[in-house]
Amino acid sequence: MAFSTPASPSAESIALKRSPESPLRETWKRFRRHNMAAISLSVLFALILLVVLGPVFWPVAIDNIDFSARLQGPSLLHPFGTDDLGQDLLARMLYGGRISLAVGFAAMFTAIFIGVLIGSLAGMLGGLVDTALMWLTDLFLSLPLLPLLLLLMYLFRDSLKAAFGPEVGVFIMIVVVIGGLSWMPVARLVRAQFFSLREKEFVEAARALGASKARQMLRHILPNALGPVIVTGTIDVAAAILAESTLSFLGLGFPPDVPTWGRILFDSKDFLDIAPHWAMFPGLAIFLAVLTINFIGDGLRDALDPRRVL
Amino acid sequence: MVPFILRRLSIALPSLLGISAVLFTILALAPGDPFAELANNPNVPADVSAMLRLQFGLDDPVWQRYFRWLWAMLQGDWGFSFASRIDVDTLIWQRVPVTLAVIGASQVLALAIALPVGVISAIKPYSRFDRIASTLTFVGFSLPTFFSGLLLIMLFSIKLDWLPFVYRADISATGAQWWWEQIRQSIMPVLVLGLFQGASWTRYVRSSMLDVARLDYVTTARSKGLRERVVILKHVVRNALIPVVTLVALTMPHVFGGAIVTEQIFRIPGIGSLLIDAILKNDTPVIMAVTFVFACLVITFNLIADLLYGFLDPRISFR
């Protein structure tokens, strides 16, 4: 049903819009819709730039404890205020933001890597392999995500900390676990794309010319299947940022000396009545990052969706 | 219908087994024998510890331990909580109703938002209403539950002092007073979860409506001269809701995730906050059991959605 084509142009315009619209208006509307994604893209870019270059312009230590400046609101000295130890929140947020965003992107790449691998294996080989892999995908789809994340963090955190140090160990752990639990939609998408693409004429031509299975997959099918994968991947970044923030907010993500946005929020929640700014800034930062990424994903979906020929 | 139900059950049960195997594998791979807290206690003499290990079969092959654990779980013997000193199953069954009540209420709220808003948005796509609604839905599902919960607490509990922000399980009042207190303390958690879910469901409803509205039979219905209201409500909405049911089932794991966060923020004594408490106290039997209960709940809701799907779309159950 989702892939149906309109019976005729008129059927769609009557069904969806009461009055026919001029091409100019249509274009303007499309431009406006992409505009939201465009604005989001520049906001996200600014956010990333701020987080990456920020420490250069705001060289304040993140662990500079100053009890005379506890729980202060925003001021010139501390633009985002201070926490209960008098540490500068702007500096902490710039530092933590780098980790929060890095987790998001790294987890997305992990998810896409696993998803594309499993999806293309299932789609190319078919048969028993396909059945087994899709059963695995369905199994993973019905796993309770957050409880499992918590369980894995609980069981493996200490040994990874011992092996790689607290920061890197938890980072690897969180990225692998979030990526390893969110590859399923990508796998399904890639498999569906493979099924429809491998019967297309251009792949048949490649087959007739003697292209190996691997070459058909990598050169001909995969590039054509990438559109929806990019969209899903974008939204995965937002989901991963949310997942990391949730873990840290529950106190089970990064340790206290690694102030990711979720962790700052976790620390702030006992001081909501006297220091609301402490919760507001990291919360807004997470919200902004997730919102802009979701908008960009939506814009990409419109731009890359081949069935939307407006 | 009956063979269809049986077929669905025959899919659900292996997934449950698969999940239990995944859980047990994770536990077995984890360093340091989490179930063996008693046996590894330095205050316990070495020979007693060895006896305990033998008694609980901690050195048996993994698959033997798995089947023993599975058998015990099936018989309702879920172990003993290290921290609370009572049986795990009593602990969990005390708390499941609260979780289900909060989730249920918020799902009803989510549906009450998503259905009308999604349908009206799809009737006039890109109208002013649609644009405002879709911006708000984006805000709605980009606003993490932990932040919206804190925002509500700041607004309604601290600033306005209207609602309590700690959920109390032991309200002493009776009758109407009890219900009043209960509703007052449930408003914020239900809002947090319901708005988040409602936002993403609105998108599903809208896009599914748009997909259905351009099918030929809708044109036919219109050309028969049916009133617009009848076409939308009887022809489009009914069929548009079929894929929505599947999507809702697929988001169920996220719903339970959101419930954990919400329970933790408002200190609701449900199984989500039980899980967090257990993790903070290294209470492995409780952690395993709660994770398993969450898995069971997800599978149950998937099953219900599947059956509902078969009911809504008779073509499915005959295939």
Q: How far is CA B90 from CA B18, B101, B143, B286, B299, in A?
A: 25, 18, 35, 11, 22
Residue A268 belongs to what domain range? 26-57+89-303
| Positions of E strands within chain A | none
Shortest alpha-carbon distance between residue B46 and chain A (Å): 25
Pick the residue of A30, A43, A142, A301 with the most B CBs within 10 A to test the interface with B by mutation: A142
Assess if residue A279 is contained within a domain: yes
Assess if residue A135 is contained within a domain: yes
Tokens of A68: 């005379």
Closest chain B residue by Cα to residue A277 = B154
Give me the average pLDDT of each 10-residue run along chain B (319 residues): 79 82 80 57 68 67 80 77 76 86 90 91 87 89 88 84 74 76 84 90 89 88 88 87 81 83 87 86 82 85 81 69
Q: What is the pLDDT of residue A288?
A: 92
Q: What is the pLDDT of residue A25?
A: 56
Pick the residue of B8, B24, B25, B147 with the most A CBs within 10 A to test the interface with A by mutation: B147
CB environment A277-296: b (16+ within 10 A), e (fewer) = bbbbbbbebbbbbbbbbbbb
Q: Is residue A287 predicted with pLDDT exceeding 90?
A: yes
Assess if residue A149 is contained within a domain: yes
Q: Is residue A293 predicted with pLDDT exceeding 70?
A: yes
Distance of CA A128 to the CA centre of its chain: 32
Helices (H), B75-174: 88-123, 128-142, 145-152
Closest chain A residue by Cα to residue B35 = A155
Contact between chains at B213 and A16 (C-beta distance less than 8 A) = yes
Whichever domain contains A37, its CATH number is: 1.10.3720.10
Q: What angle do CA A56, A175, A39 make, to 5 degrees?
A: 55
Question: What SS3 state is found at A2?
Answer: coil
* Residue A21 DSSP code: -
**Higher-scoring residue by pLDDT: B83, A261:** A261
Q: Is residue A4 predicted with pLDDT exceeding 50?
A: no
Can you spell out the DSSP letters for A88-131?
BHHHHHHHHHHHHHHHHHHHHHHHHHHHHHHHHHHHHH-HHHHH
Looking at residue B76, its amino acid is: G
Q: pLDDT tens for residues A199-226?
A: 888 888 988 998 888 888 888 888 877 7
How many Cβ contacts (< 8 angstroms) between chains A and B? 163
Mean pLDDT for the stretch of residues A178-202: 87
CB environment B127-161: b (16+ within 10 A), e (fewer) = eeebbebbeebbebbbbbbbbbbbbbbbebbeeee
Q: How many Å apart are CA A133 and CA B212, to the nearest integer?
A: 31
Q: How far is CA B6 from CA A79, A137, B13, B108, in A?
A: 62, 22, 11, 28
Assess if residue A1 is contained within a domain: no
Shortest alpha-carbon distance between residue B197 and chain A (Å): 15
Distance of CA B81 to the CA centre of its chain: 24
Q: What is the pLDDT of residue A8?
A: 46
Q: How many Å apart are CA B107 and CA B189, to the nearest integer?
A: 12
**Higher-scoring residue by pLDDT: B33, A246:** A246
Q: How many Å apart are CA B232 and CA A192, to the nearest integer?
A: 31
- Helices (runs of H) and strands (runs of E) counted in chain A: 12, 0
**Higher-scoring residue by pLDDT: A174, A32:** A174
Q: What is the pLDDT of residue A224?
A: 79
Pick the residue of A4, A5, A34, A148 with the most B CBs within 10 A to test the interface with B by mutation: A148
Contact between chains at B150 and A265 (C-beta distance less than 8 A) = yes
Q: Which residue is listed with tokens 């509500």?
A: B152
Of A36, A135, A290, the CB nearest to B142: A290
Closest chain B residue by Cα to residue A288 = B142
Shortest alpha-carbon distance between residue A237 and chain B (Å): 12
Q: What is the pLDDT of residue B113?
A: 92
Q: What is the pLDDT of residue A110?
A: 94
**Higher-scoring residue by pLDDT: A50, A38:** A50
- Contacts of residue B179, defined as CB under 8 A and 6 or more positions apart, other chains included, come to none
Tokens of B203: 């998108």
Shortest alpha-carbon distance between residue B204 and chain A (Å): 12
Assess if residue A8 is contained within a domain: no
Mean pLDDT for the stretch of residues A161-183: 84
Mean pLDDT for the stretch of residues A127-144: 86
Of A6, A16, A151, the CB nearest to B291: A151
Assess if residue A162 is contained within a domain: yes
Closest chain B residue by Cα to residue A298 = B138
Give backbone dihedrals phi and psi of B80, rounded to 5 degrees, phi first: -125, 130
- Contacts of residue A119, defined as CB under 8 A and 6 or more positions apart, other chains included, come to A186, A187, A188, A189, A190, A191, A193, A194
Contact between chains at B291 and A286 (C-beta distance less than 8 A) = no
Q: How many Å apart are CA B200 and CA B196, to the nearest integer?
A: 7
Q: How far is CA B230 from CA B53, B234, B240, in A?
A: 70, 5, 14
Q: What is the pLDDT of residue A153?
A: 83
Q: pLDDT tens for residues A9-39?
A: 444 444 454 555 554 455 445 545 667 778 8
Contact between chains at A156 and B275 (C-beta distance less than 8 A) = no
**A42 burial level (CB within 10 Å; 0-12, 13-18, 19+):** exposed
Shortest alpha-carbon distance between residue A250 and chain B (Å): 7
- Region label for A210, one of left (φ > 0), alpha (ψ between -120 and 50) or beta (otherwise): left
Mean pLDDT of chain A: 79
Contact between chains at B257 and A159 (C-beta distance less than 8 A) = no
Q: pLDDT tens for residues A80-132?
A: 777 777 777 788 888 888 999 999 999 999 999 999 999 988 988 878 998 89
Assess if residue A80 is contained within a domain: no
Q: Which residue is listed with tokens 């409780």?
A: B286
CB atoms within 10 A of CB B75: 8
Question: What SS3 state is found at B226?
Answer: coil
Contact between chains at A147 and B302 (C-beta distance less than 8 A) = no
Contact between chains at B147 and A12 (C-beta distance less than 8 A) = no
User: How many folded domains does chain A comprise?
Assistant: 1
Assess if residue A5 is contained within a domain: no
